[in-house]
Amino acid sequence: MLRFIIRRVLIGLGILLVSSFLLYLLVDLTLDPLEDLRTSTDPNKEFLIAQRIELLQLDQPVVQRYLDWIGGVLTGDLGNSWVTNRPVSELLQGAIISTIQLVSAATVLSILLGVAVGIVSALRQYSGFDYLITFVSFLLFSLPSFWVAVLLKQWGAIGFNDFLADPWIAWGVVIGVGLLAGFLWQLAIGGELRRRLINAAIGAAATIGALAYLQLSGWWSEPNIGPVILAVTSVVIAFAVTSLSTGLKNRRALYTALTCAALGVALWYPIRFYLFYYLTPYMNWAIAAGLGLLAALVGIGIGVLYRGPDWKQSARTGGIVAFLVAGLIFIDQVMSVWGPFYNSNAVNGRPIATIGDRTPNLGGNWWVGVLDSYAHLILPTLALMLISFASYTRYSRGSMLEVMNQDYIRTARAKGLSERTVVVRHGFRNTLIPLATIVPIDVITLIGGAIITERIFGRPGMGQLFLQSLAGNDIEPVMAYLLIVAFLAIVANIVADLVYAVLDPRIRVNA
């Protein structure tokens, strides 16, 4: 393994060096830093041209300029932007953070939803649900990202902000949404007519009940999770995670998950009180990550305390459930500052933003800043997620269909294993092998390819920096962007090979 990593790293560095040289030549041929001066009517035009040539060393051969640039990169100096007169590393610092926020949220959501829907679609092959998901996937995949972004700005921001001024949904719409949800549930679960009708009724009733609760409780005006929603959601998470992790027949794992859910609900008020009154002045993302890790360790400890021959499965289930429940409490704490955020002069009753990554002159504590970041992330995340969701759905469906037709799946069923065990342990794990190649590359593609989305939503990310530098004929930031994308692409290929080996022991990375 170590030899493989060293070999791949050395090959990657060689590829990066060659590609950076070729990219520098192409960028040098494309950009003309003297373009604005050539058409200038300034009487000192020739002097200004000579001054800029000396500043940018344009009188030197391009190979010499590349060697000077790559030498600076090796020492940590990415150069300066002659347009803004600022170091490129300073420009990249804020841009990378903005892009990572956008890409990480869109990637995680699209992978979770896309893979789950794709697997269900494969298991319900040639059913109404399968045909519906196939149609929706192809529709989303064919939509231009800029068109989706414009529609989201119109209906997701302007329309929803108008709705928040008078938040009321007609009961006919509520009933219609509930019936549609029930119809989709019975399509996804399938079965005989009686089972379909029962699932449709349960899905419709649950959806109508949830919307009615949100409407009658004034949730749209003061959104929160609260103890009621937290309790219901935590129990659902406990059953769902246990079902996927060990199966509901594993009582110790189920009891562990339910204990973690109950503990989270019981500690809801004390945790929020402590976070709001004591930790708020010192709160940052490092502390938030530490609290999440602490919650997972508590869940693991609860699973260990239940003991039993399969205590590791219980510990794993408890850790996942505790982490997710802690995430709900964190979100509830963020939503608790909705009032000051919504009524502030900077927001002015229009919380869903259409441009930028933060509200100027907002003020407030760390929680208000997090809520503001979420409000700016919603629309661009949805724009990227919808396109990626379609891809992951198709990939996971095709991979699952191929795996479920293998001999070892038939053997597992012949041995009398439950369908959950066959699907989750034997089918799902092997379904992830093709995705291990796609996901790392797709993440890098999003980092380098969120240019259109960042442009439309005005996010000061990597794509926006690249476009601005390209328009200003500023070679240093352009090369820094291309170098980072090329480096991450090489890293993604190495990660994909390593994940392959982890998922499938038959694959030898040193072969």
In eight-state DSSP terms, residue 401 is H
pLDDT tens-place string over residues 77-89: 888 888 888 888 8
Residue 80's DSSP bridge partners are 87
Helix H, strand E, coil C: the string for 305-339 is: HCCCCCHHHHHHHHHHHHHHHHHHHHHHHHHCCHH
CB 335 within 8 A of CB 222: no
Calculate the CA dihedral of residues 320, 383, 166, 205 and round it to 10 degrees.
-50
Max Cα-Cα span within the chain:
89
pLDDT of residue 233: 94
Distance CA 75, CA 230 (A): 51
C-alpha distance across the termini of the chain, in Å: 10
CB 303 within 8 A of CB 324: no
Regions of the chain with pLDDT less than 50: none
322 φ, ψ to 5°?
-60, -40
User: 365: which 2 tokens?
Assistant: 């504590």
pLDDT of residue 422: 86
- CA geometry: angle 162, 164, 165, nearest 5 deg: 70
Distance CA 442, CA 388 (A): 8
Distance CA 11, CA 18 (A): 11
Amino acid at 383: A
CA Rg value for the chain: 27
The rounded Cα 382 to chain-centroid distance in angstroms is 10
pLDDT of residue 177: 95
- CA geometry: angle 386, 132, 248, nearest 5 deg: 85
Distance CA 29, CA 27 (A): 5
pTM of the predicted model, to two decimals? 0.85
Cα dist. 283→279, 286, 291, 298, 308 in Å? 6, 8, 11, 21, 39
Distance CA 259, CA 322 (A): 9
pLDDT of residue 448: 59
CB 185 within 8 A of CB 179: no
- Residues in Cβ contact with 493 at an 8 Å cutoff, skipping those fewer than 6 apart: 8, 12, 440, 441
pLDDT of residue 171: 92
